[in-house]
Amino acid sequence: MRNTITRKGSPPIKVYCLPVERKQIETQAKAAGLSLSTFLLNVGLGYTVPGILDNQRVETLAKINGDLGRLGGLLKLWLSDDARTAKFDAATLRALLKKIEATQDEMHEIMRAVVVPKAGR
| Number of residues assigned to the chain | 121
**In angstroms, rounded to a whole number, what is the distance separating the alpha carbons of residues 96 and 75?**
8
Tell me the pLDDT tens digit for each residue of 4-38.
888 888 898 898 999 999 999 999 888 888 899 99
The residues near 25 (Cβ < 8 Å, ≥ 6 apart) are 17, 36, 39, 40
**In angstroms, rounded to a whole number, what is the distance separating the alpha carbons of residues 40 and 57?**
23
Q: Any idea what DSSP says for residue 10?
A: S
Tell me the pLDDT tens digit for each residue of 53-81.
666 777 888 888 888 888 888 788 877 87
